Amino acid sequence: MTSLIATGRPDSRLAALLDKGVPSMAIQDDKSVANRLFFRLFQASNILQKQTVGQVGLSTVQWAVLGALSRKGYEDGISFNQLTEYLIVSRQNLDGVLKRLERDDHVKRIPHPDDKRARLILLTDKGRAFWESLQPKIHEFYAQGLANFTFDETVSLLHYLNKFQKDLEAIAMQEAPNAEREES
């Protein structure tokens, strides 16, 4: 019931699959390819988490937070809210991560000068030095993770991921419309 083998698609697509090295037994239809793609992203993310901890010594969130704060132009901090949007993590999640980074004296939160509700997050001197000290490990990690990628292939993968992310992000927008009408 759930496996439709033949869907009357032209052979060119099959040929493309075979060109890419996909085992012919695995080829069924669009749904199968989509399922494989989503599952592969799930697996790849799991490996990325494990290897980042193993090779760099940070969780992926911490790596992302420190990387975001160390960017040029953010020496005076970035607002908590902007940071959640940049990293695509919930406020509540970021709060916990920052708590632990503050405990280790790697980041600090200060009141926002223009908005008494808001906070600015920035690296401490210790945090900046720590981040700098990790750079060799991190670049070595990048290099190993892309060992068999040409420059052009890396750019292509990045391009597709950008595109995929945009599509994924757009989904939830559709069910917002009914948030407007409560009563007449």
Positions touching DNA (CB under 7 A) are 46, 49-50, 53-54, 59-62, 79-81, 84, 89-93, 95-100, 109, 112, 115-119
Nearer to DNA, 75 or 115 (CB): 115
Q: Using DSSP, how many helices (H) and how many strands (E) does the chain show?
A: 7, 3
Least separation in angstroms between residue 102's CB and DNA is 10
CA dist., res. 141 & res. 135, Å (int): 10
Residue with Cβ nearer its own copies (14 or 110): 14
The neighbouring-strand residues paired with 120 are 79, 110
CA distance to 34, 65, 78, 127, per residue, from 82 (Å)? 32, 12, 7, 20
Q: Which does 154 bind (CB under 5 to 8 A by kind): its own copies, DNA, none?
A: its own copies
Q: What share of the chain is helix, strand, coil (3-state, %, to 5)?
A: 65, 5, 30
- Whole-angstrom distance, CA of residue 166 vs CA of residue 160: 10
146 binds, among its own copies, DNA, none (CB under 5 to 8 A by kind): its own copies
- Which among DNA, its own copies, none contacts residue 151 (Cβ within 5 to 8 A by kind)? its own copies
Residue among 91 and 163 whose Cβ is closer to DNA? 91
Residue 170 interacts with which of DNA, its own copies, none, CB < 5 to 8 Å by class: its own copies
